[in-house]
A and B are shown apart, each in its own frame.
Chain A
């Protein structure tokens, strides 16, 4: 069965420090991979996505993620975080089933950037 695991429920980090939010998935079929961000009291918005091609994907606000097929991972990174990056981050996987596409979200990682 397909699944998405975000290993850290909370990640505190000091401002201007680098951060990595981890995401692993399991799937027996080809997948598309996404990261969404949810700022306080807001809906989710797309941060970046991997559909095909280069395994290093760049998104908004200086974030990037690397698709690693052998390790079935799609970790999100930022070299220097700001206070405004404080939010909840969701990893998601989309895969094809006959007649439809299934979407699975991880349980989220709360990033807390400290001054």
Chain B
């Protein structure tokens, strides 16, 4: 089954404690990205990657890092989380062959206290 898998699904952490949200896709897509979803703001792109070792900033990259060492994996790193990073995060991969249809993971609820 085609899917994007992200973990953890739910996390409560404290300010400043580094954390990583993992993301993996099994569709061999080149393009992957991270979004955050906040009430009234919709989905905003954090970072994206067009292929292995190629990453770039999205619309709201401050406070986040990413890496793309393998095609299937695209982890999101919060080096020093702050309360304003409390949000719902989605990993996604994109299928160029179908007009850029996006496949989303199920989301990771992150609370920073």
- Tell me the smallest distance from the CB of B4 to a CB of chain A, in Å: 8
Quick one: which of A69-114 are within 8 Å of B by CB?
90, 92, 94, 100-101, 103, 105-108
A residues within 8 A CB of B106? 42-43
Chain B facing A: main interface SS: strand
Question: Which one of A14-22, A45-53, A58-66 is at the B interface?
Answer: A45-53
How distant is A33 from chain B, measured CB to nearest CB, in Å? 9
Contact yes or no, B99 A90, CB < 8 A: no
Looking at the complex, which one of A32, A46, A92, A107 makes contact with B41 (CB distance below 8 Å)?
A107
CA A44 – CA B101 in complex, angstroms? 12
> Are B100 and A94 closer than 8 Å at their CB atoms?
yes
Number of B residues contacting the other chain (C-beta, 8 Å)? 21
- Write out the residue numbers on chain A whose beta carbons fall within 8 Å of the beta carbon of B107: 42-43
CB–CB A49/B42 < 8 A: no
Verify A43–B104 contact, CB threshold 8 A: yes
> Does any Cβ of B come within 8 Å of A25's Cβ?
no
Q: Give B80-112 interface residues, CB cut-off 8 Å to A.
A: 90, 94, 96, 98-107
- Please tell me if the beta carbons of B90 and A43 are within 8 angstroms of each other in the complex: yes
| Also in contact, A34 and B105, with CB within 8 A (given A44-B90, A100-B50, A107-B41) | no
Task: Please state if A45 and B100 are interface contacts (CB–CB under 8 Å).
Answer: no
Identify B42's interface contact among A45, A101, A106, CB under 8 A.
A106
B43, A105: Cβ atoms closer than 8 Å = yes
- How many inter-chain residue pairs (CB < 8 Å) link A and B? 49
Q: Size of chain A's interface in residues, with CB distance under 8 A? A: 21
For residues 12 through 53 of chain B, which have their beta carbon under 8 Å from a beta carbon of chain A? 31, 40-43, 45, 50
Inter-subunit contact A103/B42 (CB<8 Å): no
Nearest B-chain residue to A50, judged by Cβ: B99
Known interface pairs A101-B31, A105-B43, A106-B42; 8 further A-B residue pairs with C-beta atoms within 8 A, sorted by A's residue number: A32-B100, A43-B90, A49-B98, A51-B99, A90-B42, A90-B43, A92-B102, A107-B42
Interface of B with A (CB < 8 Å)?
Answer: 4, 31, 40-43, 45, 50, 90, 94, 96, 98-107
Contacts A/B (CB < 8 Å), 23 sampled: A9-B40, A32-B99, A32-B100, A36-B102, A42-B106, A43-B90, A43-B104, A44-B102, A45-B104, A49-B98, A51-B99, A90-B42, A94-B99, A94-B100, A100-B50, A101-B31, A101-B96, A101-B100, A103-B94, A105-B42, A105-B43, A107-B41, A107-B42
